Structure 1
Amino acid sequence: MTAPAQDLSVPIDKLLTFAEAILHRLDVPAEDARLTARVLLEADLRGIESHGMAHLVDFYMRRLQGGHINPRPQIRATSETASAATVDGDRGLGFVVGHHAMERAIEKARETGVGIVAVGNSTHYGAGAYYAMMALEHGMIGLSMTTGGRLMAPPGSRGRVVGLNVLSVAAPTPREFPYVLDMATSVVAAGKLEIAARRGQPIPEGWAVDADGRPLTDPTKLHPNGALLPLGGTPATGAFKGFGLALMVDILCGALSGFGTSAEINSVRTAAHCFGALRIDAFQPMDVYLERMEGMIAALKQAPTQEGAGEVRVPGELEHALAQERRAAGAVPLHPAIVEGYRAAAEERGIVFDLVETP
């Protein structure tokens, strides 16, 4: 058996420059290209490689080339109050649309205590944690949700009926790391299957089913008719919880924006989002809130653990530590196949390729 290819260490500064150049050649304005590159990189820094730079060429570049993403969207509010708004993303890059909408939610929360912005007619926005975490520096709790491509089977079904919908929450803590929940409402994100396929690895039973509803362990067989299972797996193990959460995201994103839910719109090319910001001092003085957060974390850290398990980790803690480590190293790991895709894209677009040394 051939040994799996080892990841390559790619310098952060060169990766950002390359990503910006690729996007700019596709008519994305310089500021939007920088933002998109930064959001993708942030996912890799935090170890969320399923939503990072691996998708730059095969996903975002190809969709820009195909006209499925508008490089210069006219993002506009279609309805607005002091604390809420609905935004039309004009099929722009989800990173750009999402950043705009979350900034609007934060501004509303600054004035009223709470800001909610629903977005329709957008596209894939990468890792949702980025937008939720935008609220942290403003003394706010951030919320971010998005619909995904219709690829989930409801409990007891064997068809693709519901989107791979995602929700994220970020909250300040008195520790060096914030609380950050970033989760698919399926057992795993679809990107996990892409990673397994790229590495030639099987997936565990309970992640996905084939067209007949039988367990699927070969990630390359997911398409065209397989489906991921809701968080919880089967009805006996709590699948209705993941299914219910997926529909909640559909309601807050697709129905609230008026754009449509994933059950209605069978497209991986468009998406609806919902963003929220809660100004903490509109509810409690910040010091009281932080005291409660410290009490919660301290209690978790003191909890007895299983043998060899180590201390309890708060959601977002490990990702924060990894991001610090990778920033200090000045590089992120990328699979050789991804880097080769970059090389081909650079040649296609007439861009200098210097991400890794050529043997």
Structure 2
Amino acid sequence: MMMQPGDVRISAPDLIAFGAEALTRAGAQPADAQLVSDHLVTANLTGHDSHGIGLLPAYVKHAVEGLVDVSARPEIVLDTGAIVKLEGKDSWGRIAGEAAMKAAFPKAGELGAAIVTLSNAHHLGRIGAYGEIAANEGFVAIFFVNVTDHDPMVAPYGGTDSRFGTNPICIALPPTGTKPAFLLDMATSRIAMGKARVAANKGLRVPFGSIIDENGLPTDDPSGFKGFEQKGALAPFGDHKGYGLAFAAELLAGVLSGGGTIQPGHERRGGIRNQMTAIVMQPDAFGDPATMERELEAMWDYALASPPADWDSPVVAPGDPERALRKRRAAEGIPLDPETLKQLNAAGKAVGVEGVLGD
């Protein structure tokens, strides 16, 4: 989201340090707090403010209220053939997500492919981070994620109230000799919940129809999502197509992992739990690596050679915008609107952080 009047730019290291201190004071182990805070700020760096440091107040609240187990570690509960299942035990999502990847890599390396599930982890955050972990290790990975432990946020196509989470899907392929990693990371709602929150904090509108108001009518007003509230629902992207993918992610992640779906037979404590099913593949098991690399690069070049509709905005590959913005924000700082800054400082003060962001 573009910088607006009144926004303040703060360096990534300062934001990470603030987040780590707040999480530590809320009860997290210092190393965990550092990793989780870095995970949030990296989302900001890549332009995904919806999954960035603006979530810190919710994370601090969850730690204080026991909605995340600050001492837990995920546990492998099934390891057979190409399948490995992990129980998150309400551990920090960043820790559980990386553990799932590391459990899958040896199997995928040996067998050519592995399927890993993760249940009952705290918020995994930006799923693209785990795609990057896999791609950087030379693996292809496909992720399906659902959301539980709180009220649904996304309406089914043709519906007027929420019945799903934002249920992200991510696909990652490793870099080649000349191309960076391919990274598709998207919510199955038209906009992420956090994007509605950020827009509300900034007093901005969102694309019409991406939100359904309390009366079940399409709108461009995100004010019902300000300050972690929810009045109304998000709409699925692509109408019936996004709805179908959201439903598929709900079933693949929630059912196969054993962690459950968002249907009301499961508890909703007001926290954030994620379930995930990921397919991890070793490309070399599928054919000659050099031949596949040439084909990937040729398709990449062909797609990006399309004459752009706007000559100031050339065609790019999935993952390119994040890479470009990461360089810019690392140099210039991360923009925070006054409302988000206020929420962050209030969360820090509540757990005894003495420093103030934005001074």
Compute the TM-score of the two structures, normalised by the length of structure 1.
Answer: 0.89
- Residues 201, 340 of structure 2: 8 Å contact kept: no
**Partners of 2:32 and 2:111 in 1: CA distance:** 29
* Structure 1 residue 262, shift from structure 2 partner: 2.0
Do residues 196 (structure 1) and 199 (structure 2) align?
yes
**Partners of 2:158 and 2:342 in 1: CA distance:** 41
Counterpart for residue 107 of structure 2: 108
**Partners of 1:284 and 1:27 in 2: CA distance:** 49
The more displaced of 37-46 and 79-88 is: 79-88
* Structure 1 residue 253, shift from structure 2 partner: 0.8
**Partners of 1:19 and 1:221 in 2: CA distance:** 26
Choose which of 235, 241, 244 in structure 2 pairs with 1:229. Answer: 235
Counterpart for residue 290 of structure 2: 287
Q: Residue deviations 1:242-291, cap 9 Å, x none?
A: 11101111122100011211235473522211233211111123322221
**Inter-CA distance 210–343: structure 2 relative to 1 (3 Å threshold):** closer
**Partners of 2:206 and 2:73 in 1: CA distance:** 41
Q: Superposition pairs for residues 12-51 of structure 1, below 5 Å?
A: 12-51=12-51
**Partners of 2:22 and 2:104 in 1: CA distance:** 30
Counterpart for residue 140 of structure 2: 141
**Partners of 1:192 and 1:202 in 2: CA distance:** 11
Counterpart for residue 165 of structure 2: 163
The more displaced of 215-224 and 67-76 is: 215-224
Q: List, as ranges, runs of 4+ consecutive aligned residues in structure 1 with deviation greater than 4 Å.
A: 222-225
- Residues 163, 263 of structure 1: 8 Å contact kept: no
Q: Superposition pairs for residues 64-75 of structure 1, below 5 Å?
A: 64-75=63-74
- Residues 236, 243 of structure 2: 8 Å contact kept: yes
Which residue identity is paired with 2:335?
P
**Inter-CA distance 330–274: structure 2 relative to 1 (3 Å threshold):** farther
Counterpart for residue 350 of structure 1: 352
* Structure 1 residue 200, shift from structure 2 partner: 0.8
Counterpart for residue 95 of structure 1: 94
Which residue identity is paired with 2:160?
R
Choose which of 215, 219, 222 in structure 2 pairs with 1:216. Answer: 219
The more displaced of 45-54 and 86-95 is: 86-95
- Residues 131, 143 of structure 1: 8 Å contact kept: no
**Partners of 2:4 and 2:307 in 1: CA distance:** 37
**Inter-CA distance 350–307: structure 2 relative to 1 (3 Å threshold):** closer
Any gaps of 5 or more consecutive residues in structure 2?
none
* Structure 1 residue 4, shift from structure 2 partner: 5.5
Count of residues paired in the alignment: 347
**Partners of 1:101 and 1:163 in 2: CA distance:** 21
**Inter-CA distance 285–32: structure 2 relative to 1 (3 Å threshold):** farther
* Structure 1 residue 129, shift from structure 2 partner: 0.3
**Inter-CA distance 8–205: structure 2 relative to 1 (3 Å threshold):** same
Choose which of 162, 173, 179 in structure 1 pairs with 2:182. Answer: 179
* Structure 1 residue 144, shift from structure 2 partner: 2.7
Counterpart for residue 56 of structure 1: 56
Which residue identity is paired with 2:38?
R
* Structure 1 residue 165, shift from structure 2 partner: 0.6
Q: CA RMSD in A?
A: 2.2
3-state SS of the aligned residue for 2:292?
Answer: helix
- Residues 12, 45 of structure 2: 8 Å contact kept: no
Q: Superposition pairs for residues 180-329 of structure 1, below 5 Å?
A: 180-221=183-224, 224-232=230-238, 239-264=239-264, 265=266, 267=268, 269=271, 270-308=273-311, 310-327=313-330, 329=331
Which residue identity is paired with 1:286?
P
* Structure 1 residue 307, shift from structure 2 partner: 4.5
The more displaced of 158-167 and 335-344 is: 335-344
**Partners of 2:159 and 2:313 in 1: CA distance:** 39
**Partners of 1:145 and 1:31 in 2: CA distance:** 28
- Residues 250, 261 of structure 1: 8 Å contact kept: yes
**Inter-CA distance 225–301: structure 2 relative to 1 (3 Å threshold):** closer
Q: Residue deviations 1:303-342, cap 9 Å, x none?
A: 2332536421111111111112223x16322223333333
* Structure 1 residue 355, shift from structure 2 partner: 4.3
Counterpart for residue 236 of structure 1: none
Counterpart for residue 6 of structure 1: 6
Which residue identity is paired with 1:228?
L
Any gaps of 5 or more consecutive residues in structure 1?
233-238
Do residues 130 (structure 1) and 129 (structure 2) align?
yes
3-state SS of the aligned residue for 1:274?
Answer: strand
Q: Percent identity?
A: 29
**Partners of 1:344 and 1:88 in 2: CA distance:** 33
Counterpart for residue 235 of structure 1: none
**Partners of 2:201 and 2:236 in 1: CA distance:** 23
**Inter-CA distance 92–229: structure 2 relative to 1 (3 Å threshold):** same
* Structure 1 residue 347, shift from structure 2 partner: 3.2
**Partners of 2:280 and 2:353 in 1: CA distance:** 39
